[in-house]
Structure 1
Amino acid sequence: MRNKTLLTLALSAVMISQAQAEVSDAVIESSFYPYKNGVPSFPGLSAGMTINQGNVDQFKDALDPAMYSFIKNGDTELKVGETTDFVLDESYIEATRKYSSGVTLGAGHGEISETVAGRPFPEEPKLDDPRAGEKLAWNFKYGYNWGDSASIYPFYWKYRDMNTGKVERTIKFNFHFLNFTHRTQHDPVPAIDPNPSEFFRGTYAEVLEPYDLKNTQLLIHRFEDDTKLDNVYLYLGFQRRVRRLSSGQTTDAFLGSDLMIEDFEGYNGRISDMNWTYKGTQNILMPMYNHNDLTNFDTEVHQNDPDGFQMVAYGGKGGCFQDITWQLRKVYVLESDPVDENHPISKRVHFIDAQTYTIPRTISYDRKGDLWRSFTIGQAHPDYHLPINKGSGVSIDDSVTMIDVQANHCTTAQFKGIVDPNLSPVDTFTVQNMRARGK
C-alpha cells in the first residue's frame, strides 16, 4: 500500500509538471504575441487620422482620462498610427518558457520565489485574483526595458512654462542601465558574477551641462531582494563628495524638474513600496511608433550627430507634447498606492503595454486625490531607430514629457537610446566611479 501511494504521488507530480509545461507554452505564446491573430480596432478610428478638440468625444473610450482632457481642452492633438508588433528578443521569451512555470508570490508584501530570467507571470491577469496587480508589477520589474544593458547618450531635459512655452532650463545627461541578474541576451547570462551585494539592477546618470550642475551624478542600486531599500547616491560637483540619499528623497523633485527619481521609466521603486491593484484590460491609444517614420524632428537639439540621428520634436500647449504617432494597443490598467502614508501622491494609474510590459503612460494624483501629473514615455520600435538597435527586441524609450497639470509646467526629454553593452561596463555602477569622474 505504501509503495502504491508513493507511486501515485510520483505520477501525480509528473502529470502536474507536464500540465504546467503545456499550459506555460500556450500562455507564453499569447503573452508575447497578442496581435498574432489581428490588431485591436475602435469604431471610426484609423491610421493616419488626427484626434482633436472637434472629434475627441467620439474616441473618449480609446484614450486614458488625462489625454482625453488635454485634447478636449485644445492643449494638443493626437496623430494615429498603425498598430505594430513589438516582439521582444527571443532570448527573453525562451527564458520565460524555461523558468516561469514555477514562480510564485511569497506570503509577504514584495516577496517572490526564486526567479532566474524572463517574465515571471506570463498568464493573463484576472480581476478575481487579489494579487493580479502585484504579478503585473513583478512582470514590469523583471521586464525587458532596455534589455540587459543600454545607454541614453545623450539625454536632454528641458524645463518649460506651459503657459508661455518658455524653456527655463536645459540639462544634458548621459544615462546608463545594467541588469546584474535576470540577463538573457548579453554575456554573462543569466547573471554577472561576482555580485556580492546581490544587486538586481544599476542605474547611473551624469550631468554634462550646464556648468553649475556639471559632474552631478546619480547612482541607484536595486537589490534582488525587493524588501531591501535601494542604495541611492548623489554626487554634487560643487561639493565634490558623494552623499547617500534617504528613501524619502527619491520622491523629491529631481534637480528642480517635474519628476521624482521614483518616476523614472514609469516606476522606479520597489514592488514592496506600493499596494498594487489590477483594474482591467483595455484597448487604448499608446505613444508607440517607428522613430524613423516620423516626419517632424527637433531642428535645434543634438545637431551633427555622427549617426544622423534626429530627436523627437515637441508642440502643443507650451511645447509640452511629443510630435509622434499613437497606436491602439492592448493595455493592462494597474493602480498603485503608496504603503507610506506620508508619500506625496495618493496613487498612480499605470497603463502597461501588454506585449512589452513597458509603461508608456502614467497618471499621478496628489494626496487630496486630484489629478497632479501626466507622464508619457514615447516608445520607439528598435528596428526603425538606430542601426545598432535593430534586432535587439528592446522597446526603445525615445521621448518623455511629465506635465504638472496643477502648476501648468512640464519637463520634456529628448534622447538617443543605444542598446550597446560596451557603453555600460560594470565598474560604471560604483561609488568609486562617481568619485573618479567628479575630480
Structure 2
Amino acid sequence: MQLGPVIEPFDMPRLQYFWSLDRDPERKRDAWYYNPQFNRLFRMQGDLHWLSYLNQEDIDMDSFGGYAGRVEWANWKYLGQRTVLAPFELSEWTDWLWRKDSEAFFPKVLWEPRRVAVVEGRSVSHHRLYSRRVIYLDLETYRVVYSELYDQKGELWKLLFNTYYFSSDPFPADSCKDDWEFPYLAAETVVDTQRRGATWCAMGFVPVVSGSDPWSVNKGEGAWTSGSSDALFSIEAGR
C-alpha cells in the first residue's frame, strides 16, 4: 500500500509511505518512506513503523482506511448490528468541497443512516498504539464506515470517519475504468478526543504524476508486474 505524497501540513511536504504484508503471519510487515528533502528512500525497522514521523499526526498506518493491520494482531469479537449516522457517500465529484464552518474537517456531504456490523478488536500486545478498536462495517458495501480507537487506559482516544465516492469511471479523462461501480475511499477524517483536534485526509483528487491514475485500482491482467513499487516512481512523484 502507498500513502502520499503528503501535501500538508507544511512540515511533511511530499513525504510518501509504502508498506506491505507477507502471506506468512510470522513475518513482520515491510515499510519504507521517501523523504524528498534528502532524496532518499528509508526503511522502517520491523513493526515499529507506527511510531514513525506520520504518528505525530492523527492518522497511523494500522488504522488507515479503517484497519490496515493483520487479523492476528487482535482478539476479535462480534458485537451485533445497528444503524449509525455517517458522512458515507460523496454523491458527485462536484460536491468535493470542504465545509467552511467550525466542522470544516468533514467533507461537504449529506450524513445518512447506514446499517452496520460492529466488531471489536483487542490488541494482543501492549506495544500496539491502541488497546482496542471498534470497527463499524457497512453491510451493503463491506467498507468501514468509521471506527473508535482506545488508548492503553481503555479511554476513547480517536474517531475515524471514512467517505467514499462510488463510480465505475471516477476520472473520465483517465485510463481507469471498471465494469461496475466501486467505492473509492475519497476522504478520511480523524477526530482526536483527547487533544480536541482533527485531521482530514483527501485521496485521489490530485494525480501526483502526469498521466498516472489518481487511485490505485485492480486492473487485473493489465496491472504492472514489475516496477510498480519502483523507488524511481516515488522519487518522481515526490518532486
TM-score with structure 1 length normalisation?
Answer: 0.45
Secondary structure of 2:62's counterpart equals helix
Aligned residue runs from structure 1 range 4-403, under 5 A: 202-207=1-6, 213-246=12-45, 247-252=47-52, 254=54, 256-292=56-92, 309=94, 311-314=96-99, 317=102, 319-382=104-167, 386-387=171-172, 391-403=179-191
For residue 414 of structure 1, what is the aligned residue in structure 2? 202
Shift of 1:213: 4.1
Distance (whole Å) between structure 2 residues aligned to residue 258 and residue 274 of structure 1: 21
For residue 133 of structure 1, what is the aligned residue in structure 2? none
- Structure with bigger helix share is 1
* Number of residues of Structure 1 aligned to a counterpart in Structure 2: 223
Secondary structure of 1:362's counterpart equals strand
Shift of 1:378: 0.9
Which structure is larger by alpha-carbon Rg, 1 or 2?
Answer: 1
CA contact under 8 A between 2:36 and 2:235: conserved in structure 1? Answer: no
Structure 2: gaps of 5 or more residues = 206-213
CA contact under 8 A between 2:95 and 2:109: conserved in structure 1? Answer: no
Distance 1:282 1:341, change over 3 A: same
Write out per-residue CA displacement over residues 216-274 of structure 1, whole angstroms, 9 at most, x where no aligned residue: 22111222334422110012222332221131232556163211111211111111212
- Structure with bigger strand share is 2
Structure 1: gaps of 5 or more residues = 1-201, 293-307
Secondary structure of 2:158's counterpart equals strand
Identity percentage over the alignment? 21
Distance (whole Å) between structure 2 residues aligned to residue 436 and residue 311 of structure 1: 27
TM-score with structure 2 length normalisation?
Answer: 0.77
Secondary structure of 1:264's counterpart equals helix
**Structure with bigger RCO (C-alpha 8 Å, 6+ apart):** 1
Shift of 1:215: 4.5
Distance (whole Å) between structure 2 residues aligned to residue 347 and residue 340 of structure 1: 10
How large is the Cα RMSD of the aligned pairs?
Answer: 3.2
CA contact under 8 A between 2:168 and 2:182: conserved in structure 1? Answer: no
CA contact under 8 A between 1:290 and 1:385: conserved in structure 2? Answer: no
Partner amino acid for 2:82?
Q
Distance (whole Å) between structure 2 residues aligned to residue 402 and residue 343 of structure 1: 18
Distance 1:421 1:383, change over 3 A: closer
Write out per-residue CA displacement over residues 386-430 of structure 1, whole angstroms, 9 at most, x where no aligned residue: 446675331121222101011111111234264666897452313
Shift of 1:328: 2.4
Secondary structure of 2:140's counterpart equals coil
